[in-house]
Amino acid sequence: MSIFSTRSQLNLISAILSRYIRLPFSTDIIPGAVMEAVLAQVHHASRLNTYDFVDVVNHKERCGWQIKSTKESTPVTWKRAKIRNAEKLINASKASDEGVEELGREIINFCNEHAQKSMERYKLGKIGYARLIVHNNGHVTYFEKLLCTSDHPLLFEPREFEWRWSKQKQNLKKEQLPALHGFHKLTGKKWWAWHGLGENQLHFVGERNWWPSCDNPHAISFKFPNAEEKISLEDLMSLLEKIEIPT
């Protein structure tokens, strides 16, 4: 039971995506739904199309994957984190340091519980992270990472983070509400931004610390095609006309 693709599977994922982004109607991003469909196909798994933590499940192997696909410059939205008793916790967080830390713990516990529910619902042994990044330099990276197992179900350790509210910002278009920022204690770097005063989006800035090195065995990179390398709509239509449609 492994959430990691073999080298041949990684090559297949790369080949499928490379062909997809040559299509005339593809854009400069690869939608998450496309990435989910590709991973499900390669691993003989099922795409769930739900709001569960896992997006793709291989029931036979008891493996599931959380899938993200964005541009390098786009923040990863881990989830819309609708915290229980949010109003009460937010008010307490504005009143004391203990209150803000309690709210932060609730956010991390919310993430952990979300993964554990999928683990239990689909009877999974392992959950992995499948991530596609479209870089600014015209390259694409795909990598996989083990997130948690039935023996070690905790995604994140709440004690590793400290929290504080950002200052309210004002730009020319609209007022930006403060966000609750979570900092990784060991490095002092910002890992989280919870927009609980707005739409409850939880941005996972620290995800960049998971990005692989060039020699990572669970990653593969390929070049994003330029405009000249894309298939024209006319050529695509010509190819499709040759396919016999069963009657």
Q: What is the pLDDT of residue 26?
A: 83
CB crowding 82-115: b at 16 or more within 10 Å, else e: ebeebeebbeebeeeeebbbebbbbbbbbbbebb
Q: What is the pLDDT of residue 154?
A: 95
Q: What is the pLDDT of residue 150?
A: 94
Q: What is the pLDDT of residue 89?
A: 95
Calpha distance 234→240 (Å, rounded): 10
244: burial class by Cβ within 10 Å (0-12, 13-18, 19+)? exposed
Q: Report the greatest alpha carbon distance in the chain.
A: 70
Please write the tens of the pLDDT for every residue from 149-177: 999 999 999 999 999 999 877 665 666 78
Place of tokens 């990784």: 184
Q: What is the pTM of this model?
A: 0.89
Low-confidence stretches of the chain (pLDDT beneath 70): 1, 170-175, 236, 239, 245-247
3-state class (DSSP) for residue 93: helix
| Torsion angles phi and psi, residue 145, rounded to 5 | -145, 140
Closest CA to 11 of 42, 51, 40: 42
Distances 52 to 56, 66, 116, 217 between C-alpha atoms, Å: 10, 9, 10, 28
Strand order in the sheet with 219-223: 46-47, 56-58, 63-71, 126-134, 139-149, 219-223
Q: What is the pLDDT of residue 173?
A: 61
Please write the tens of the pLDDT for every residue from 193-210: 999 998 999 999 999 999
Tokens matching residue 55: 């997006």
Q: What percent of the chain has pLDDT over 70?
A: 94
Q: What is the pLDDT of residue 208?
A: 95
